[in-house]
Chain A
Amino acid sequence: MATETHSELEDGLVFHPMDQFQVTSLVGGDVEWFTITNVTLMMALTVIVIAFIMIFGARGRALVPSRSQSIAELTYGFIYMVEDVTGKDGVVFFPYVMTLFMFILVANFLGLIPMAFTTTSHIAVTAVMAMAVFLAVTIIGFVKNGFGFLGVFWISSAPLILRPILALIEVISYFVRPVSHSIRLAGNMMAGHAVIKVFAAFAPLVLISTGIGLVVTPLSILAITAIYALEVLVAFIQAYVFAILTCVYLRDALHPHH
């Protein structure tokens, strides 16, 4: 399918909304595991931007914060919700949640720059983060509670007859967690960018091919603007959701008894 879309692209004004997610080599040649690709570039940019924000933000430490210090303090204070969700003993995982949130947030926002590449739209990228969370939660749960961690599947507040059925459902939902955790982020980013690309391709095509284009094209461009605004919101909300779900899963690991 991928090769088919490329031969179509060479014919002329044919847009394919998924072409923007193609991983291409920046140095030429085939894509191997060590090749510098657009994904590598955008990830490196993400790390540089995060380092820039946090290092310059934390440098001054003024009593009345400057603008850069405000950004750093706001994100820090925002992610300190880890304490509200997981409880006092969950604060040790704050750096991990903060890292995840900052990486996803900055990667999403950098991906919104036109012609940029959204690294978080690839399931390979998000699946690694989600699997890391899943493995961490499972290991922490068994280390902290021993086999008492299995109590997370045994809902003691439910009637006794229902408990085995609920336990089965809980086991399934536990193992679906890394899938839904990763697909949610990747799917949201991919779908949003594909929608923008569909509208962006539709606008010039309808203008050159039909008479109603003079009316429809401005509407289509307005729609792109509106969807882009929505995407800015989604970029933030998805980073927040990823971070808070990590917190919820960590709470299960720390306090498995319902």
Chain B
Amino acid sequence: MTGDIVQMGAYIGAGLACTGMGGAAVGVGHVVGNFLSGALRNPSAAGGQTATMFIGIAFAEALGIFSFLVALLLMFAV
């Protein structure tokens, strides 16, 4: 009985961890959107900043990946 409740809690937690994806989506969208609005104002300077944009995306995305990791841990490790 207790095992079932723990299992249920783990599954609910894994589902709740998916809300982290929304945060990562907002972050990545914010980074790329601001890059694009800046790039359209000054297209000649945009090419040199692509690497910076990808670094920003990577940092924003890492936190979304952490929530995925939490979901995986709840599903397979708990």
Q: Do A and B bind each other?
A: yes
- Chain A interface (Cβ within 8 Å of chain B)? 1-2, 18, 81, 84-85, 180, 183-184, 187-188, 191, 237, 240-241, 244-245, 248
The answer to whether A1 and B75 touch across the interface, beta carbons within 8 angstroms, is: yes
Q: Is the CB of A240 within 8 A of B69?
A: no
B62 touching A183, Cβ below 8 Å: yes
Contact A85 B58 (CB under 8 A): no
Contact of A244 among B51, B66, B76 (CB under 8 A): B51
Contact yes or no, B58 A245, CB < 8 A: yes
Chain A residue nearest in CB terms to B21: A191
Give the one of A1, A188, A237, A241 with max B CB within 10 A: A241
Q: Are B62 and A237 in contact (CB under 8 A)?
A: no
Nearest-neighbor residue (CB-CB) of A241 within chain B: B58
B65 and A183 contact, CB distance less than 8 A = yes
Interface of A is mostly: helix
A240 and B57 CA atoms in complex are apart in Å by 12
Q: Mark B51-78, 1 if CB is under 8 A from A, else 0.
A: 1001101100110011011000001100
Residues 28-59 of B at the A interface (beta carbon under 8 Å): 51, 54-55, 57-58
CA–CA, A2 and B68, complex, Å: 19
Would you give 6 A-B contacts (Cβ < 8 Å), ordered by A? A85-B51, A191-B65, A237-B54, A241-B58, A244-B58, A245-B58
User: How far is A248 from B55 in the complex, measured between Cα atoms in Å?
Assistant: 9
Size bracket, chain B contacts: 10 to 19
Closest Cβ neighbor of A85 among chain B residues: B51
A124 to chain B, nearest CB (A): 14
For B51, B58, B61, B62, the residue with the greatest tally of chain A CB atoms inside 10 Å of its CB is B58
CB-CB under 8 A from A183, the residues of chain B are 62, 65-66, 69
Contacts of A81 on B, CB cut-off 8 Å? Answer: 51
Please measure, in the bound complex, the distance between the C-alpha atom of A184 and the C-alpha atom of B65, giving whole angstroms. Answer: 6
Residues of A near B65 (CB, < 8 A) are 180, 183-184, 187-188, 191
A241 cross-chain contacts in B, Cβ below 8 A:
54-55, 57-58
Measured in the bound complex, the distance between the Cα atoms of B68 and A188 in whole Å is: 10
Complex-state Cα separation, A10 to B1, whole angstroms = 27
B residues less than 8 Å from A85 (CB atoms): 51
Q: How far is the CA of A191 from the CA of B75 in the complex (A)?
A: 14
Cα–Cα distance between A145 and B65 once the two chains are bound (Å): 33
A184 contacts B68, C-beta separation under 8 Å: no
A184 near B55 (CB under 8 angstroms)? no
